């Protein structure tokens, strides 16, 4: 007799993520998968080699909860090298299981049930479920138009006496927006006014196009003491499966994250932490080359999509392109989910329907878009191009 399992209310409404659905469907139809933001190529050999060496050097037992000292020092040096931030590695860094755990631990450690946290939509898909599990109410501010800008008045209205935090993801998934210094200034002023914490998700900090600079909110006036900066190895070093991330900031903020982290994962894979020291210490040329490589892929993909009839928006960073599909879909396709299914089944290319990045009442805002990931081998992009080029010729 099978047990009758009662799923807890805090997770019952979640369903499976759209990424899983698309991956399963893409596999079934042998589609070229430009859906999930996971590269289909490997990271720098010296970083991979450092992990192998660590495994073979008996670095296979628990690391300290805050992270290995050498990694925390490497994270602090990286913050100083790229942003001039001065971070004390002994108390202002915590190493987490990817940026994903850092965001969740930050929400758990910094909010109480009934508090509010502001997010910009389209919103990366883990934040709101994290809030639901913490009993926190999300407040949405919408990014609009080709440049994905927010209305400062809408943002000001979202702040209330219950606001504990705002999450800012820059460069942004799924739009590729990079928040300007001016936009971050508006956010900073409101955080100071309402005594709110900023939690920034900067996992795409090194994937930038056309010379657009990445500004760290923590470096704006009044923000160093109230910003928790989160990032990870995954995107920058093409090791998304490693799940090594971190949160840095004022000691009190890092303590709050660690209060939760110590009872979620406690510590992060030791050999991968050892490899993080090598990764974060790579010379500036590595980071410049990364940008050049991705800029090439973004430009190639923009040409492919525009050539196929999409109205593709040009991202400033991250590895995604948002594109309006109305120019190419047949009349029976009515929304982004139907479009994604149609593209997989009839063209053999997978993409992500972005309505899932909006709250229920605003899903229509994502209806005519689709999201493509460019973090793929040139051969993969060429295979997608070949399939997409048949569109309109049937």
Least distance to ligand PLP from the beta carbon of 394, Å? 33
Q: Residue 164 or residue 235: which is nearer to ligand PLP going by CB?
A: 235
Q: Among 312, 280, 291, 279, which residue's Cα sits nearest to residue 384?
A: 312
> Could you give the dihedral angle defined by the CA atoms of residues 253, 263, 129 and 150, in that order, rounded to the nearest 10 degrees?
10
Contact range with ligand PLP by CB under 6 A, out of 98-106, 131-139, 261-269, 376-384? 98-106
Contact range with ligand PLP by CB under 6 A, out of 42-50, 95-103, 140-148, 211-219? 95-103
The angle at the Cα of 348, spanning 345 to 354, to the nearest 5 degrees, equals: 75
Least distance to ligand PLP from the beta carbon of 357, Å? 10
Binding map of ligand PLP across residues 25-44, x = CB under 6 A, - = no contact: ------------x-------
Q: Which phi and psi angles does 304 have, rounded to 5°?
A: -60, -50
Least distance to ligand PLP from the beta carbon of 124, Å? 4
208 strand-pairing partners: 317
Contacts to ligand PLP from residues 325-384, by CB under 6 A: none
Contacts to ligand PLP from residues 233-292, by CB under 6 A: 234, 240, 243, 245
Q: Residue 173 or residue 278: which is nearer to ligand PLP going by CB?
A: 173
- 369 within 8 A of 336, measured Cβ to Cβ: yes
* Number of other residues whose CB lies within 10 A of the CB of residue 13: 9
Least distance to ligand PLP from the beta carbon of 205, Å? 11
Contacts to ligand PLP from residues 290-329, by CB under 6 A: none
* Number of other residues whose CB lies within 10 A of the CB of residue 2: 4
Contacts to ligand PLP from residues 165-184, by CB under 6 A: 169, 173
Contacts to ligand PLP from residues 116-145, by CB under 6 A: 124
Which residues have CB under 8 Å from 160's CB, separation 6+?
Answer: 116, 139, 194
Least distance to ligand PLP from the beta carbon of 2, Å? 34
- Extract the runs of DSSP E, i.e. beta strands, from 210-309: 227-232, 245-248
Contact range with ligand PLP by CB under 6 A, out of 77-85, 92-100, 157-165, 301-309? 92-100
The angle at the Cα of 228, spanning 164 to 205, to the nearest 5 degrees, equals: 125
Q: Among 199, 385, 218, 205, which residue's Cα sits nearest to residue 308?
A: 385
Q: Which of 170, 232, 355, 370 binds ligand PLP (CB under 6 A)?
A: 232
Kindly state the number of chain residues that form the binding site for ligand PLP, as judged by CB under 6 A: 14
Contacts to ligand PLP from residues 182-221, by CB under 6 A: 201, 203
- 149 within 8 A of 143, measured Cβ to Cβ: yes
Q: For binding to ligand PLP (CB under 6 A), which residues are involved?
A: 37, 98-100, 124, 169, 173, 201, 203, 232, 234, 240, 243, 245
């Amino acid at each position: 007799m099978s047990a009758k399992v009662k799923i807890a209310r805090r997770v019952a409404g979640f369903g499976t993520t759209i990424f899983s659905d698309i991956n399963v469907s893409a596999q079934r139809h042998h589609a070229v998968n430009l859906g999930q933001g996971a590269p289909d190529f490997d990271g720098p050999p010296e970083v991979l080699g450092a992990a192998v060496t660590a495994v073979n050097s008996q670095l296979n037992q628990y690391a300290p909860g805050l992270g290995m000292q050498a990694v925390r020092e490497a994270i602090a040096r990286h913050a100083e090298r790229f942003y001039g931030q001065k971070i004390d590695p002994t108390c202002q860094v915590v190493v987490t299981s990817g940026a994903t755990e850092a965001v969740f631990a930050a929400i758990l450690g910094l909010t109480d049930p009934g508090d509010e946290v502001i997010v910009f939509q389209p919103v990366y898909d883990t934040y709101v479920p994290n809030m639901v599990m913490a009993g926190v109410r999300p407040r949405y501010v919408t990014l609009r138009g080709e440049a994905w800008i927010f209305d400062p008045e809408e943002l000001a209205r979202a702040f209330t006496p219950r606001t504990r935090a705002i999450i800012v993801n820059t460069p942004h998934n799924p739009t590729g927006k990079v928040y300007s210094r001016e936009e971050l200034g508006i956010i900073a002023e409101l955080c100071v006014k309402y005594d709110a914490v900023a939690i920034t998700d900067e996992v795409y900090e090194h994937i930038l196009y056309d010379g657009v600079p990445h500004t760290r909110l923590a470096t704006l006036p009044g923000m160093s003491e109230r910003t928790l900066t989160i990032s990870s190895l995954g995107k920058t070093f093409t090791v998304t499966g490693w799940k090594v991330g971190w949160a840095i900031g004022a000691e009190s903020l890092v303590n709050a994250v660690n209060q939760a982290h110590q009872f979620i994962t406690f510590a992060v894979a030791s050999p991968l932490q050892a490899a993080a020291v090598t990764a974060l210490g790579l010379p500036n040329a590595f980071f410049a080359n990364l940008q050049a490589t991705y800029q090439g892929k973004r430009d190639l993909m923009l040409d492919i999509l525009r050539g196929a009839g999409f109205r593709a928006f040009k991202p400033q960073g991250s590895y995604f392109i948002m594109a309006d599909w109305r120019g190419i879909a047949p009349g029976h396709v009515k929304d982004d989910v139907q479009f994604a299914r149609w593209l997989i089944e009839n063209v053999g290319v997978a993409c992500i329907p972005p309505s899932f990045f909006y709250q229920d009442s605003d899903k229509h805002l994502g209806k005519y878009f689709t999201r493509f990931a460019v973090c793929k081998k040139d051969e993969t992009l060429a295979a997608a191009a070949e399939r997409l080029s048949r569109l309109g010729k049937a």
